[in-house]
């Protein structure tokens, strides 16, 4: 039995496995982990970011939430307070982050802060999810805090706002948006990591699945089905042609989160993995070993993950990448057949050319 700083008991509300000293490396997505290991190894990195705190609106955000939101405690939103203590106890996070409920009908949650993380959930999210679904979300945000994601999320928010303010400066906006795009790609992977942390806290895969479905389709569980929802993810990945592959990339670039069906499929896959089972059996990397982690090993893991993703992907663009990597011949023909569906289309003179110009291929 341990206690929170305010003296409240910190024990799970039901029998859940606890992970003493667990390192965030246990649940981090390989691309997320390699970036974080590299950043943690940089001498003076934390100092640089703390120096930036004078430029970032962190203090303003803290004051804003303190003055215009409801701080979770044993007196306010006590059920969320219990969930927060549970999550910190299970993941062995010694200092419980402050948590606020903000009036906003849009379901959302975030973990931000440079010096110390704070967690914010909206009323839309609180009203949408049941207790076990919400527990997974709270665990998700505590996972962000344990990984140190809050620092980079705050930087991303700042740079996104800055990019809008300097949009009239062509080169300045391009440079900032390049950094923002890279940060978003990392952050999408960090969301997959935090989903895993939420599962470790809630230890209820069906609740995690339900929560993701509700984020996509609202509070209509009687109208939704987990298997059908996961089938959407498979259809999204494998359907269409190269044009659709490009559109998928363009749709994803401005987002900080992966698409909801993709998150559900990724989490279900991880829950069925040996890696997850080993953690549940008590075999996981420890926090006190983080300093000895090899950057090169982390990058190799990340590279191996991306290589495996390309190998196993059903996306047409990834199939083309595999063909090119394998030395496939007639690349032009493959491109034509993949995009336009094959068939005898060319080499027959001006009439066919004119028809193609006026047809759907245009």
Catalytic residues: 141
DSSP string covering 133-191, please? Answer: HHHHHHHHHHHHHHHTHHHHHHHHHHHHHHHHHTTTSHHHHHHHHHHHHHHHHHHHHHH
Run of H or E residues at 312: helix 295-312
**Cα angle at 207 between 204 and 210, to 5 degrees?**
150
Q: Is 344 helix (H, G, I), strand (E, B) or coil?
A: coil
Candidates 258, 246, 253, 257; CA nearest to 178 is 253
Which residues, listed in sequence order, are joined to residue 119 by a DSSP beta bridge?
A: 99, 111
Candidates 77, 90, 67, 71; CA nearest to 140 is 90
Candidates 66, 60, 141; CA nearest to 108 is 141
Show the tokens assigned to 41: 């190894």
**What is the Cα–Cα distance from 144 to 191, expressed in whole angstroms?**
8
Cβ atoms 21, 282 nearer than 8 A: no
**What is the Cα–Cα distance from 55 to 43, expressed in whole angstroms?**
21
| Residue entry with tokens 């269409």 | 240
How are beta strands 70-71 and 109-112 bridged, if at all?
A: unpaired
CB 249: neighbour CB atoms within 10 A?
11
**What is the Cα–Cα distance from 239 to 235, expressed in whole angstroms?**
5
């Amino acid at each position: 039995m341990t206690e929170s700083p305010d003296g409240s008991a910190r024990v799970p509300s039901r029998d859940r496995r606890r992970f003493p000293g667990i390192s965030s490396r246990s649940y981090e997505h390989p691309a997320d982990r390699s970036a974080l290991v590299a950043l943690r190894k940089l001498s003076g990195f934390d100092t640089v970011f703390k120096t930036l705190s004078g430029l970032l609106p962190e203090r303003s955000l803290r004051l804003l939430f303190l003055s215009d939101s409801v701080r979770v405690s044993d007196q306010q939103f006590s059920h969320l307070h219990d969930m927060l203590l549970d999550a910190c106890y299970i993941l062995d996070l010694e200092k419980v982050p402050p948590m606020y409920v903000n009036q906003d009908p849009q379901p959302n949650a975030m973990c931000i802060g440079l010096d110390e993380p704070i967690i914010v959930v909206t009323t839309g999210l609180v009203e949408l999810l049941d207790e076990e679904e919400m527990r997974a979300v709270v665990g998700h945000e505590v996972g962000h805090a344990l990984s140190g994601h809050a620092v980079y999320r705050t930087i991303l928010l700042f740079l996104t706002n800055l990019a809008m303010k300097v949009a009239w400066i062509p080169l300045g906006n391009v440079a900032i948006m390049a950094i923002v795009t890279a940060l978003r790609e990392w952050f999408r992977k960090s969301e997959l990591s935090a989903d895993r942390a939420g599962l470790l806290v809630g230890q209820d895969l069906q609740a995690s699945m339900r929560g993701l479905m509700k984020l996509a389709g609202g509070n209509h569980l009687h109208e939704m089905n987990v298997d059908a929802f996961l089938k959407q993810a498979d259809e999204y990945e494998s359907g269409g042609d190269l044009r659709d592959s490009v559109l998928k990339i363009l749709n994803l670039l401005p987002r900080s989160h992966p698409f909801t069906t993709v998150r559900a499929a990724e989490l279900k896959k991880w829950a069925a993995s040996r890696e997850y089972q080993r953690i549940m059996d008590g075999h996981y990397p420890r926090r006190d070993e983080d300093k000895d982690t090899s950057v090169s090993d982390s990058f190799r893991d990340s590279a191996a993950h991306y290589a495996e993703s390309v190998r196993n992907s059903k996306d047409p663009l990834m199939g083309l990448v595999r063909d090119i990597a394998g030395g496939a011949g007639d690349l032009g023909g493959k491109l034509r057949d993949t995009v336009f569906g094959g068939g005898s289309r060319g080499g027959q003179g001006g009439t066919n050319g004119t028809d193609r110009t006026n047809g759907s291929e245009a």
